[in-house]
């Protein structure tokens, strides 16, 4: 800063000198012409004068060079100023919204517990620090990681975040270390200590918890829900516990009154016994629930399902596997439904019957099907329910992994989709492999159906196989031309969006929604 002040002072003196120089030059130009100067001077004096003029001409050139260099330095200084950066000309409100979008697009502690996006934002500059610290919603996403607890010996980070988002809804992620899945079995006592400290830490904030997402920790979940009374969960809108069973949420008491305000639930059906009726009652009390994800961790043969209706008037998204379809057939909703089917390998006719019962009673307009690796489940399943999906408008077909040795079979699916589902307008393939024949089928489908959106995410396109008498170059050119024509009507993405962290968490939904 001192060097800049000295430079500016020197430029102020230079400015005065330039004015005097300009005035003197103007006078000199008006009073001297041709040889008039030489007539009044001797030859010796005139020669000395010429030498002085030559010296000043060279000095002027040097000064001119220094002035250009000084000008470049000053302009560079202006361009490096953070206050003149376009993003720092934004208002604090817009800047904070950008920060929240960035945090929403970042992984939670479950996949990225080595750094936190908010900490990086704080380190950019003082203005960003002040804007971020004064944005409570930015800190309402609380990641509690077992790894950090073991490393830091406490919850210093989450405690600081909570101090910055007082009196607003909290979104809590509680995660184990995904790289050490056997930790719970080998260190049960450690996890019990962790559970006790988590409960103590969350005690003042549990009533403002709007979403709670738990990854693992079977030792923590029963204590967490048993410790806090039902009235503590009135603000809870999203509960995601993955493969933790519903019976473990009860905490040895009825859960029906604890989750009346739930809007999203992701839970596992681990075993049945006496908890069936309580689970049905709990779901029926969630009148605002719009998203229900059910998984089954055990074979469902011989399970007795209560003949009780589950009425969910606001339900819009239902995700089930073959083990939980028997529960789904008891659901009642009058809204258009987005149905997602996962892991239907080895599904039996009784599973198909239960699914058909659900389809006939619901208005399914969107459907997503996840194929297990190298199994033809989709090819068998879709034709079975062709007549049960008259309202289907969106179909998403997802494979666990694209494999060049198992290209998509066009005869069994693509060529029949247009006629099988006449209202279909959106079709998306995730992680599928297409050969030359499949591409032709896609082109044909686009040409003769009402399809207006075709998406390909993380897909593989196989080059044509050599045929006798055909050059590989001509076949490749034809294939490239077909892909080019296809691309005009296709949305292509190299990577499939990770829905585990984009769209499931209500925090992300809140941050990403348009005003």
- Residue 364, pLDDT score: 92
**Residue 414 located in a structural domain:** yes
Residues 75 and 209 in one domain: no
Q: In terms of pLDDT, which residue wins out, 294 or 452?
A: 294
Residues 152 and 229 in one domain: yes
Residues 71 and 120 in one domain: no
Q: Is the pLDDT of residue 203 over 80?
A: yes
- Residue 348, pLDDT score: 79
Residues 215 and 106 in one domain: yes
CA angle 36, 40, 45 (to 5 degrees): 110
Q: Is the pLDDT of residue 421 over 80?
A: yes
- Residue 63, pLDDT score: 75
CB neighbourhood size of 331 (10 A): 21
Question: Which band of pLDDT confidence, cut at 50, 70 and 90, is reported for residue 107?
Answer: low
First-residue to last-residue Cα distance in the chain: 43
**For 174-194, what is each residue's pLDDT tens digit?**
876 544 545 555 566 777 788
- Residue 132, pLDDT score: 92
Highest mean pLDDT among 204-208, 241-245, 407-411, 412-416: 204-208
**Residue 459 located in a structural domain:** yes
Domain boundary among 72, 87, 102: 87
**For 264-289, what is each residue's pLDDT tens digit?**
988 877 655 445 567 777 888 888 99
Q: In terms of pLDDT, which residue wins out, 392 or 409?
A: 392
**For 51-70, what is each residue's pLDDT tens digit?**
777 777 777 777 777 778 87
Question: Which band of pLDDT confidence, cut at 50, 70 and 90, is reported for residue 154?
Answer: confident
- Residue 178, pLDDT score: 47
Residues 177 and 210 in one domain: yes
| Tokens 């029906």 found at | 256
> Phi-psi bin for 265: left (phi > 0), alpha (psi -120 to 50), beta?
beta
Q: Is the pLDDT of residue 233 over 90?
A: no
**Residue 52 located in a structural domain:** yes
- Residue 218, pLDDT score: 64
**Residue 389 located in a structural domain:** no
Q: In terms of pLDDT, which residue wins out, 474 or 152?
A: 152
Stretch 117-144: mean pLDDT, rounded? 87
- Residue 374, pLDDT score: 47
Q: In terms of pLDDT, which residue wins out, 302 or 17?
A: 17
Residues 499 and 423 in one domain: yes
Residues 20 and 52 in one domain: yes
Nearest-angstrom CA–CA distance, 107 and 512: 14
**For 249-266, what is each residue's pLDDT tens digit?**
655 455 556 788 889 988
Residues 13 and 132 in one domain: no
Nearest-angstrom CA–CA distance, 54 and 332: 99
- Residue 304, pLDDT score: 60
Residues 63 and 137 in one domain: no
With a CB cutoff of 8 Å and minimum separation 6, the contacts of 287 are 260, 312, 313, 314
For residue 164, give Cα distances in angstroms to 132, 202, 248. 10, 15, 32
Of the listed ranges 82-86, 397-401, 410-414, 453-457, the least confidently predicted one is 410-414
Q: Is the pLDDT of residue 503 over 70?
A: no
Residues 42 and 150 in one domain: no
Token pair recorded at residue 305? 């399902």
Which residue, among 240, 252, 300, has the nearest Cα to 278 in the 3D structure? 252
Domain boundary among 191, 215, 236: 236
Q: Is the pLDDT of residue 130 over 90?
A: yes
- Residue 363, pLDDT score: 92
Residues 410 and 468 in one domain: yes
Domain that holds residue 469: 396-515
**Residue 476 located in a structural domain:** yes
- Residue 76, pLDDT score: 73
Is there a contact between 323 and 344 (Cβ–Cβ < 8 Å)?
no
**For 319-378, what is each residue's pLDDT tens digit?**
988 888 888 888 888 889 999 888 776 777 888 888 888 999 899 998 888 765 444 556
**Residue 25 located in a structural domain:** yes
Domain boundary among 57, 87, 117: 87
Q: Please state the separation of Cα 394 from the chain's center in Å.
A: 22
Q: Is the pLDDT of residue 110 over 60?
A: no
Average pLDDT of the chain, as a whole number: 73
Which residue, among 260, 253, 251, 252, has the nearest Cα to 281 in the 3D structure? 260
Give the total number of structural domains in the chain. 3
Q: Is the pLDDT of residue 33 over 60?
A: no
- Residue 131, pLDDT score: 92
Residues 216 and 124 in one domain: yes
**Residue 492 located in a structural domain:** yes
- Residue 276, pLDDT score: 59
**Residue 319 located in a structural domain:** no
């Amino acid at each position: 800063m001192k060097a800049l002040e000295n430079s500016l002072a020197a430029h102020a003196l230079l400015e005065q000198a330039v004015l005097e120089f300009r005035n003197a030059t103007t006078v000199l130009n008006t009073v001297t012409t041709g040889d008039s100067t030489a007539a009044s001077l001797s030859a010796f004096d005139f020669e000395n004068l010429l030498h002085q003029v030559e010296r000043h001409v060279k000095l002027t050139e040097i000064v001119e060079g220094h002035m250009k260099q000084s000008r470049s330095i000053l302009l560079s200084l202006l361009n490096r100023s953070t206050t003149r950066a376009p993003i720092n000309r934004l208002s604090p409100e817009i800047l904070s919204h950008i920060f929240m979008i960035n945090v929403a697009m970042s992984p939670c502690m479950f996949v990225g517990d080595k750094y936190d996006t908010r900490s990086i934002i704080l380190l950019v500059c003082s203005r960003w620090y002040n804007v971020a610290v004064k944005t409570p919603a930015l800190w309402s996403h609380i990641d509690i990681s077992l790894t950090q607890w073991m490393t830091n010996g406490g919850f210093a980070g989450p405690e600081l975040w909570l101090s910055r988002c007082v009196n607003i809804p909290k979104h809590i992620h509680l995660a184990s270390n995904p790289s050490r899945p056997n930790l719970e079995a080998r260190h049960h006592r450690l996890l019990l200590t962790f559970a006790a400290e988590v409960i103590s830490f969350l005690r003042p904030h549990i009533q403002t918890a709007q979403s709670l997402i738990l990854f693992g920790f079977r030792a923590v979940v029963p204590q967490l829900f048993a410790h806090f009374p039902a009235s503590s969960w009135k603000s809870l809108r999203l509960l995601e516990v993955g493969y933790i069973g519903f019976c473990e949420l009860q905490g040895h008491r009825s859960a029906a009154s604890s989750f009346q305000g739930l809007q999203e639930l992701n839970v596992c059906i681990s075993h049945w016994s006496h908890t069936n009726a309580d689970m049905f009652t709990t779901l029926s009390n969630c009148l605002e629930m719009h998203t229900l994800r059910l998984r089954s961790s055990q074979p469902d043969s011989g399970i007795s399902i209560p003949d009780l209706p589950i009425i969910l008037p606001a339900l819009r998204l239902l995700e089930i596997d073959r083990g939980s379809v028997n529960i789904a057939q008891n659901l009642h909703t009058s809204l258009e439904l987005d149905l997602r089917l996962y892991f239907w390998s080895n599904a039996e006719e009784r599973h198909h019957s239960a699914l058909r019962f659900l389809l006939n009673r619901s208005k399914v307009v969107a459907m997503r099907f996840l194929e297990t690796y190298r199994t033809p489940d989709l090819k068998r399943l879709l034709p079975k329910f062709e007549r049960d999906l008259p309202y289907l408008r969106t179909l998403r077909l997802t494979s666990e992994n694209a494999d060049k040795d198992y290209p998509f079979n066009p005869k069994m699916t693509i060529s029949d989709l247009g006629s099988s589902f006449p209202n279909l307008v959106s079709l998306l393939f995730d992680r599928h492999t297409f050969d030359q024949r499949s591409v032709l089928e896609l082109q044909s489908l686009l040409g003769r159906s009402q399809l207006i959106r075709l998406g390909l995410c993380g897909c593989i396109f196989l080059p044509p196989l050599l045929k006798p008498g055909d050059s590989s170059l001509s076949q490749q050119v034809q294939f490239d031309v077909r892909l080019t024509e296809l691309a005009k009507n296709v949305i292509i993405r190299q990577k499939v969006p990770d829905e585990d962290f984009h769209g499931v968490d209500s925090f992300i939904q809140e941050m990403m929604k348009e005003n």
